[in-house]
Amino acid sequence: MSQRSKAHASPAIRRFARELGVDIAQVKGSGEKGRVTKDDVQNFVKAALAQPRGATGGSGLQVLAMPVVDFAQFGAIETRPLSRIQKLSGANLHRNWVSVPHVTQFDEADITEMEAFRKQLNEEYAKQGIKITPLAFLLRAVVEALQQFPDFNASLDASGENLILKKYFHIGVAVDTPDGLVVPVLHDVNQKGIVQLARELGETSGRARDKKLTAAEMQGGCFTISSLGGIGGTAFTPIINAPEVAILGVSRSSMKQVYQDGAFVPRLMLPLSLSYDHRVIDGASAARFTVYLAQTLADVRRLAL
């Protein structure tokens, strides 16, 4: 006799259990002669949901439940709700972190010449109120690299079996605002020069901080740049803005002794941290991408080509 037929339950209760994905044979009946009632099925589901998940295999992500701690027992506390942006971006970041196999490739670009040129441009355009930061150069250089390595300008389709290669170059830029992180998208970066990009960057990040971005301004990105260079740090591991397949983290440039032509020379080095989706991009491609990007930044004349 099968387990299923052993359980005493009416057809309606069996159907109810089936709808909830409950194996009725596992439910202990509290009714007459051990009959399974609706309450028994509901209690079974409640108990299953309340159970801490162990590493029991299966396809789902099964982790221990987070302990509930009364922090007040250890000292004074204050409770502050997360902002709307934090809740929204937190859910996306969590999904991306657990569902995309991330690897981060680190490199450094020699931006000594680029900085000299940037400072010169900055002086020239200050009168027009345009501030040219390294990010404007990075946007252009990233597009050069995306054109050279099209797999980075792509997304997996819903089946996960095809790569959709994009022929447009819209780049998201992570902007830190008092309410949390937002990622406006600069469109058609391949068609814009450094000065125009600097202007757009200033306007867009200002609008982001004033909470004036529209939903459309945050859509359509192919690749994201997260620059913490204005703040500090030497490297970090950014989370991919899926379904994009890579993100570039930029840290603060610093003067370093670099061995060149038989001597140590002081050079301004910019740290790059490229996180990529290892289902789509392999390590060798990521290393080639960052090497190419660093070469492009080292010789910004290439951007004019």
Question: Which residues have a catalytic role annotated?
Answer: 278
Element (H, E) at 275: strand 263-277
Stretch that binds ligand CAO, among 24-32, 94-102, 141-149, 226-234 (CB under 6 A): 226-234
Helix (H, G, I), strand (E, B) or coil at 173: strand
Cross-strand bridge partners of residue 257 = 266
Which residues inside 48-107 make contact with ligand CAO, applying CB under 6 A?
none
- With the CA atoms of 137, 140, 141 and 147 taken in that order, what torsion angle do they form, in degrees rounded to the nearest 10? 180
Answer for which of 102, 187, 207, 252 binds ligand CAO (CB under 6 A) is 252
- Give me the sign of the Cα torsion angle 227, 228, 233, 237: negative
Helix (H) or strand (E) holding 202: helix 194-209
In this complex, which beta carbon is closest to ligand CAO, that of residue 24 or of residue 290?
Answer: 290
How far apart CA 217 and CA 94 sit, in angstroms, is 22
Q: Select the residue whose beta carbon is closest to ligand CAO and give its number.
A: 229
The yes or no reply on residue 250 touching ligand CAO (CB under 6 A) is: yes
Question: How many Cα atoms occupy the beta-carbon half-sphere of 181 within 13 Å?
Answer: 19
Q: Count the neighbouring beta carbons within 10 Å of the beta carbon of residue 176.
A: 16
Using CB under 6 A as the binding rule, whether residue 213 contacts ligand CAO is answered as no
Kindly state the smallest distance separating residue 108's Cβ from ligand CAO, in Å. Answer: 11
Minimum distance of ligand CAO from residue 119's CB (angstroms): 9
CB of 186 to ligand CAO, least distance (A): 11
SS3 assignment, position 138: helix
Nearest to 9 by CA among 37, 30, 33, 32: 37
Q: Is 174 in the site for ligand CAO (CB under 6 A)?
A: yes
109 binds ligand CAO (CB under 6 A): no
| Contact with ligand CAO (CB under 6 A) among 227, 241, 273, 296 | 227
State yes or no: residue 269 binds ligand CAO (CB under 6 A): no
| DSSP code of residue 1 | -
Q: Considering the complex, state which of residue 27 and residue 270 has its C-beta at the smaller distance from ligand CAO.
A: 270
Chain contacts with ligand CAO (rule: CB under 6 A) = 133-135, 173-176, 181, 201, 205, 226-230, 238, 250, 252-253, 270
